[in-house]
Structure 1
Amino acid sequence: MKPNHKGRAQLFQNPILEKMTRTHIAIPISIFLIIATGLIYYGLTYSFINVLEAVGFFFLGWFIFTLLEYMAHRYLFHIDTSTPTRERLQYILHGNHHEYPKDKKRLAMPPVVSILYASAFFFIFKLIFGQFVFGVVAGMLFGYAMYLFVHYAVHAYTPPKNFLKQLWIHHSIHHYKDPNVAYGVSSPLWDYILGTMPKRSK
């Protein structure tokens, strides 16, 4: 699929559904930072966690998110398109972004969908971590907000002249050279670990 730097894909004929697929990046980032802060505040205020536990499980949640980000990008957003249904699903989830990578209104899932995901994560991770879920999910949502910020920045702005430039290069390789490598957006950590780092040119 050849990237188009102008324009926007139409995903649905229904104008309401179509409008719901677009969002300003500041909205989901703000939502997740507010919820993450609220979870930490609630957990501390009602003594579900103490300060040390909040910090520790916050960073654990952030670390967990980096793996979820990688796995979702690699195995869900780039699912096999061997059937028309799979091809349509992949295009709605991610293919339209590869075709129109400069479409700033589709660099994040719609807030409604994202909040549903966040709610599901809370209940799932509560079963695993119990009362420490307030720290874990806060860290995950903070990680998600950082992912959204980085993803927006690498598509909307020129690379900075510092070490962060590598994030721009990493994601550009995924978009413009090889979509089967460089799945990490906010961090290349899991690309290193799981063998999907782009090969260096000699």
Structure 2
Amino acid sequence: MKPNHKGRAQIFANPVLERLTRTHIALPIFIFIAISVGLIYYGLTYGFIDVAEAIGLFILGWFIFSLMEYSAHRFIFHMDTDTPAKARIQYTFHGNHHDYPKDKERLAMPPIVSVLIASFLFFVFKLLFGQLVFGIVAGMLFGYAMYLFVHYAVHAYAPPKNFLKTLWIHHSIHHYKDPDVAYGVSSPLWDYLLGTMPKRAK
């Protein structure tokens, strides 16, 4: 199906479930920035991390998120659809976005799903890094919020006349020219490192 600049896909027949698949982009961005700030504040206030650790771990968490963003986009959202079940999962999570890239209410996962995933990641990273989790996960969640902002901006607005225009071009190539390249949205870093940069950008 060619990308459609109008309309939206119907994912569920149930109207309640269908409504839950849509969200205004400001809501998850606000939620995850607030949680990120709260984690840093909590970690500093109760002495789990100091200021230098908070800054370093925050940057590390943001870096980790950038790899997670790339990996999820490449290997989950663009999984092989060699069975009907995989095809359904892929379309529910991402395929509908490629069919209707201008549907502004489906540019982010529903907040409840994102919060559940973020909670799971917090406990996983707590087991791995102990009290350092407050800085690392704060950076990861802030990275996710910035990803949401960039993803919304490149679909909703014309590209700016500055260096950020690269992000618009990069993501447009993924949508309208070759879906097997340019998986990074908030940054092309991992496309450079892992060999999925578009040919025109090389």
Q: Structure 1: which 5+ runs fail to align?
A: none
AA partner of residue 62 (structure 2): W
Name the structure 2 match of 1:3: 3
Pairwise mapping of residues 1-202 of structure 1 onto structure 2 (< 5 A)? Answer: 1-200=1-200
Percent of matched pairs sharing the same residue: 77
Q: How far off is 1:128 after superposition?
A: 1.2
Deviations 1:62-105 (A, max 9, x none): 00000000000000000101111111110000000000000000
Report deviation, 1:200: 1.8
So what's the TM-score if we normalise by structure 2? 0.99
Whole-angstrom distance in 2 between the partners of 1:131 and 1:197: 37
Q: Secondary structure at the match of 2:200?
A: coil
CA-to-aligned-CA distance 1:139-177 (integer Å, 9 cap, x gap) = 000000000000000000000000000000000000000
Cα RMSD (Å): 1.0
> What's the offset of the Cα at 1:201?
7.5
* TM-score computed with the length of structure 1 as normaliser: 0.99
Aligned length: 202
Distance 2:115 2:25 in 1: 14
Query: Which one is further off, 80-89 or 154-163?
Result: 80-89
**Which residue identity lines up with residue 170 of structure 1 in the other structure?**
H
Distance (whole Å) between structure 2 residues aligned to residue 125 and residue 15 of structure 1:
36
Q: CA deviation at 1:129?
A: 1.1
